[in-house]
Amino acid sequence: MAVIDMELARSQVQSRGFLDVEVDPTLDLFAEIERLKKEKNAIILAHYYQEPDIQDVADYIGDSLGLAQKARDTDADIILFAGVHFMAETAKILNPGKKVVLPDLKAGCSLSDSAPPEVFAKWRQNYPDHVVVTYINCSAGMKALSDIICTSSNAKAIIDSLPADQPIIFAPDKNLGAYLNKVTGRNMVLWNGACMVHEIFSLEKITKLKTRHPEARFIAHPECEEAVLRIADYIGSTTQLLKYTKSDSAESYIVATEPGILHQMQIESPEKTFIPAPPNNACACNECPHMKLNTLEKLYLCLQYETPELTMDEELRLAALKPIDRMLEISKAAGLLG
Ligand code: 13P
Ligand code: SF4
């Protein structure tokens, strides 16, 4: 293993968010990562939005709910989280005894950023009788201010578990919140946040694409805007979309979520065709710039030097754990845990 100046490494991680060390281009990174995983008893958890190479070295690939469960249950010594910051935070909250590292500390999330805890805490005071249900795409500070966390896989079950006359605040995603109001018949108060990826799908371009591919089914993530969801044949979390494309009889799909998921869709259904839904800008597909900050090189360095590491204040962790535990209990009762 190359020797690096750890003082320099620490300052790099602090300023850039990752270890900026040159990786020998002749190295077989796949083999090296396998070796390091065994040597260090490490597990790699990756979200479906990670680049294909990262998905290929992961021990588990999943949606936010599956990843949280895996992070809680693993007996590995190191959890390398290939995803964004709030996901690695959730892993640390659920399994504080493990070392949680992520390839790039600056891999954030626009949805999480749209709800600063101090602003939310003030706003919440306008609704003293409301229960706060918060989407897992938020900071630990937001989680600590919430009553129950949910993911897109279990949000409906979480909301349905509350008494029909219970007023609810839903944060931070207004699109997911509006969709949930529709499918649960509630009138939740919505925080005004959105995901920068899902809110820019172009209804016009998708409609044209559907005309060109009349045989294709259009499937979408519930973080998309209402107008896009209205024309969808199926709406679901990333895992639900993946399962749908596997079990459904169609041969092609237009997919309105981050295109990283297409890698697993293609692996699970090699005979089918998957077309990424276009955004309302000049790009053909719609990648999450935060998720894509992680690269195989950064992952390798992260595993080798065990940095950047995610650490958390214990008081904050315990406050954020409560609403996550509630989510997991309700999900278990609803039969939603794998
Ligand atoms: P899920 O994978 O839980 O559907 O969430 C999608 C997402 O936006 C993650 O950032
Ligand atoms: Fe956040 Fe959207 Fe990126 Fe997911 S896809 S990490 S919600 S910005």
Give the predicted TM-score (pTM) of the model: 0.96
Fill in the amino acid letter for 296: L
Q: Is the pLDDT of residue 291 over 70?
A: yes
CA distances, 214 to each of 208, 245, 254, 257 (Å)? 10, 16, 10, 20
Give me the pLDDT at residue 18, please: 93
Report which of residues 179 and 7 the model is more confident about.
179
Q: Is the pLDDT of residue 5 over 80?
A: yes
Give me the pLDDT at residue 1, please: 58
- Given a contact cutoff of 8 angstroms between Cβ atoms, the answer to whether 209 and 278 are in contact is yes
Residue among 67, 81, 197, 241 whose CB has most ligand 2 atoms within 8 A, to mutate: 197
Give the 3-state secondary structure of residue 304: helix
Q: Who lines ligand 2 at CB under 6 A?
A: 49, 84, 109-111, 137, 195-197, 258, 288, 290-291
Which ligand is in closest contact with the Cα of 110? 2
Residue among 111, 152, 238 whose CB has most ligand 2 atoms within 8 A, to mutate: 111
Q: Is the pLDDT of residue 239 over 90?
A: yes
**What share of the chain has pLDDT > 70, as a percent?**
99
For the segment 136-157, what is each residue's pLDDT rounded down to a tens digit?
999 999 999 999 999 999 999 9
State the number of CA atoms in the 13 A half-sphere of 323 facing the CB.
Answer: 25
DSSP per residue over 190-237, as a string? E--B--TTGGGB-HHHHHHHHHH-TTSEEEE-TTS-HHHHHT-SEE--
Tell me if 137 CB under 6 Å of ligand 1. yes
Instruction: Please give the distance of CA 295 from its chain centroid, rounded to a whole number.
Output: 16
Give me the pLDDT at residue 2, please: 63
For the segment 11-63, what is each residue's pLDDT rounded down to a tens digit?
889 899 999 888 999 999 999 999 999 999 999 999 999 999 999 999 999 99
Q: Is the pLDDT of residue 182 over 70?
A: yes
CA distances, 206 to each of 52, 109, 234, 271 (Å)? 24, 25, 15, 23
Report which of residues 293 and 283 the model is more confident about.
293
